[in-house]
Amino acid sequence: MKKSRSIFGDKQGGPEIWNSIKFAKRKLPEELIASQKNRLMEGILDDKKSTPIIPIQPRKTIWIWYAAASIVLLMTVGSFLLLKENNFETSYGQIATVHLPDGTSVTLNGNSSISYSPISWRFFNNRNVSLTGEAFFDVAKKEVDGKRIKFQVLTRNLQVEVLGTRFNVIDREGNESVVLEEGKVQLMIPDVQIPLQMVPGDYVGYDASKKRMLQMVVLTEEYTSWKDKYILLDNKTLGELAQIITTVYGKKVVFQNDEDKKIPLEGKVPSDEIRILIAALRLATKLEISLENDVVTVSNSSKTITI
């Protein structure tokens, strides 16, 4: 262990020298003690002023937080339910009928879908339906407090507004059309400020790519017969029917002779089963028409054209 060293350093002489030194006792004055005490207390108070005081939160604040979180959760769930939509769709070649909450009947053609918000229908009387594909609407009339509630069908570009009527709507590949069978329809068209009023027998088509509208009077059965599971062929060509086969049934159609597309058709053919439809076309046109691996081939040709 290292020997400790005197804090006074080395001194000459023996221990008797240190014993002879007398240290006078010193007592601090009372005034000095009091002043120092005051300075100390002032320092403590200054520290308290400069140091932020964070109060301890009472336990009830936790419940307030839980209540706030619950409100946010309810609002989130409510928004989700408000935005949530009911969707109905058909596959290729399928025809299905959907009954909406107000009693409206919607018949969907193959490869089609509709959607609507049940919350908006129930609590806000917003009878809005979005359509992709083709559907026939038999709209039920609805009144609230003596006021008729309108029914709207929305496609990508058109807005069909009715009170109670029967009509057909198509929205496929940029071509949209409305055919009115019964009642009245008010149609909103892009870039047209005044709504178009339709009466039974009216056809209105809209080409989105060309921004062009076509309006004419037609035999409505030509456009609505599909819902009764047959196709009225009058005023259609084989090429036009081939386009229906591709769109509604999902079958690729190959013409080996371009001129065959121009063959005019008439009469009725069943539409509920693609093979029966092809057999009927084979008898009507006297052409060789076959279906294999989702491809319909129209034979007798010098060159091949695909639709």
Least confident of 114-118, 158-162, 268-272: 268-272
Residue 189 to residue 60: CA distance in whole angstroms: 58
Longest dimension (CA), the chain: 146
pLDDT in tens, 182-211: 999 999 998 888 999 999 999 999 998 888
pLDDT in tens, 121-130: 988 888 999 9
Spatial CB neighbours of 95, under 8 Å, sequence gap ≥ 6: 107, 108, 109, 110, 226, 227, 229, 272
Four-residue CA torsion sign, 265, 210, 247, 127? negative
- 270 neighbors 225 (Cβ within 8 angstroms): no
Q: Which residue has the higher pLDDT, 114 or 303?
A: 114
| pLDDT tier at 56, thresholds 50, 70, 90 | very low
Instruction: Please give the pLDDT value at position 29.
Output: 46
Residues in the chain: 307
54 pLDDT higher than 60: no
Residue 206 to residue 216: CA distance in whole angstroms: 12
Instruction: Please give the pLDDT value at position 122.
Output: 86
94 pLDDT higher than 60: yes
Spatial CB neighbours of 214, under 8 Å, sequence gap ≥ 6: 203, 204, 205, 206, 207
* SS3 state of residue 215: strand
Q: How many other C-beta atoms are found inside a 10 Å radius of the C-beta of residue 71?
A: 10
Q: Which residue has the higher pLDDT, 303 or 158?
A: 158
Overall average pLDDT of the 75-89 stretch? 67
pLDDT in tens, 127-147: 999 999 999 999 999 988 888
| Percent of the chain at pLDDT exceeding 90 | 53
